[in-house]
Amino acid sequence: MLFPEHDFLDRFGAAAKAGFRGVEYLFPYAYRLEDLAGCLREAGLEQVLFNLPPGNWEAGERGLASLPGREAEFQASVAEALRYAEALDCPRIHAMAGLLPERADRETVEAHHHTYLKNLRFAAGEAAKAGRDLLIEPINQRDMPGYFLSRQADAIKVIDEVGADNLRLQFDVYHCQIMDGDLISHMERQFHAIGHVQIAGVPERHEPDLGEVCYPEVLARLDSLGYTGWVGCEYRPAGNTWAGLGWGQAYGLSTDTTTRGH
Ligand SMILES: O=C(O)C(=O)[C@H](O)CO
Ligand SMILES: [Mg+2]
């Protein structure tokens, strides 16, 4: 989502020049593995996370994991994601849950829940064989109406029901603020399950210093909890990406325009 001023494969160099040490993105599948691996190597970056294939994104699909009748496609998506994760040395992959049909009745919701648990057990098992973590993320209903997983408590319940050590929570602060609020309490209560963190300003999803969330306090508390994982900057720059990085200087990022030479 950052550096949209550049073609995708050029964003790796821009991220490194800005001081990032790792990158994540939604989907790698439109690109050749060797091109992505070369970008990481040349920029000296780690591949931190990406998503499993989401179904037909252009047609509005937002993941396969809870969709009854699509299990074979989901299993193939796990294999494809793990193939990319192996080549890019990516320790974690995110399985998007998918959308409920409009006005879903109780039976439909239960069928999605049953499918979700079954698929996550399969995917966590395959990821564990490869030494990788599988993440699930509650996503807010404003950005993704009908998304099957939107509340923090539901995500923790699913993680407990699946019972796989490598099934972890993708704690996106932006979504948590919109759907549940009470950010620091949720972060503290769920800390045992957090496998990745993402941040963005609320409500516009711009830079973290724009909006209602006090990120210096949230990130300081994350540190004091002993978090040693990554924090993904999953936001849409309000303007030029570089101009908006001032918030990150406290975390080693640079807004130095002289490094823009790219
Ligand atoms: O939407 C988000 O916050 C995500 O992190 C998903 O991976 C992509 O939609
Ligand atoms: Mg997110």
When the pLDDT of each residue in the chain is averaged and rounded to a whole number, the result is 96
Q: Is the pLDDT of residue 257 over 70?
A: no
The residues spanned by each domain of the chain are 8-250
The protein residue with its alpha carbon nearest to ligand 1, atom 8, reads 26
| Cβ of residue 172 lying under 6 Å from some atom of ligand 1 | yes
Q: Where are the alpha helices (DSSP H) in 95-232?
A: 106-129, 152-162, 173-179, 183-189, 215-224
Tell me, in angstroms, the distance from the centre of ligand 2 to residue 216's CA. 19
Q: Kindly report, residue by residue over 105-164, the tens digit of the pLDDT.
A: 999 999 999 999 999 999 999 999 999 999 999 999 999 999 999 999 999 999 999 999
Joined tokens for residue 98: 């998918």
SS3 168: strand
Measured CA distances, 26 to 72, 117, 146, 181, 261 (Å)? 22, 23, 19, 25, 26
| Cβ of residue 26 lying under 6 Å from some atom of ligand 1 | yes
- Is this complex scored with an ipTM above 0.90? yes
| Cβ of residue 137 lying under 6 Å from some atom of ligand 1 | yes
| Cβ of residue 94 lying under 6 Å from some atom of ligand 1 | yes
Estimate the share of the chain in helix, then strand, then coil, as percent rounded to the nearest 5.
45, 15, 40
What pLDDT does residue 229 have? 98
Query: Is residue 97 within 8 Å of 66, Cβ to Cβ?
Result: yes
**What's the CATH number of domain 8-250, 3.30.70.60, 3.40.50.11400, 3.20.20.150, 3.40.50.720?**
3.20.20.150
> Which atom of ligand 1 is closest in space to residue 175's alpha carbon?
3
Distance CA(100)–CA(154), nearest Å, equals 15
What is the b/e burial string over 173-204, where b = at least 16 CB atoms within 10 angstroms of the residue's CB?
A: bbbbbbbbeebeebbeebeebbbbbbbbbbee
E strand segments, the chain = 22-24, 46-51, 92-94, 133-136, 167-172, 194-199, 231-233
Distance CA(257)–CA(19), nearest Å, equals 12
Locate tokens 């990821």: which residue? Answer: 127
Residue from 153, 29, 131, 141 nearest 86 by CA: 131
For residue 203, give the DSSP letter: T
Tell me, in angstroms, the distance from the centre of ligand 2 to residue 67's CA. 20
pLDDT band for position 258 (cuts 50, 70, 90):
low
Residue from 250, 233, 135, 143 nearest 190 by CA: 135
Joined tokens for residue 235: 């936001």
Q: Kindly report, residue by residue over 239-255, the tens digit of the pLDDT.
A: 999 999 999 999 999 87
Ligand 1 mutation pick, 23, 99, 139, max ligand atoms within 8 A of CB: 139
Residue 55, by phi and psi: left (phi above 0), alpha (psi -120 to 50) or beta?
A: left
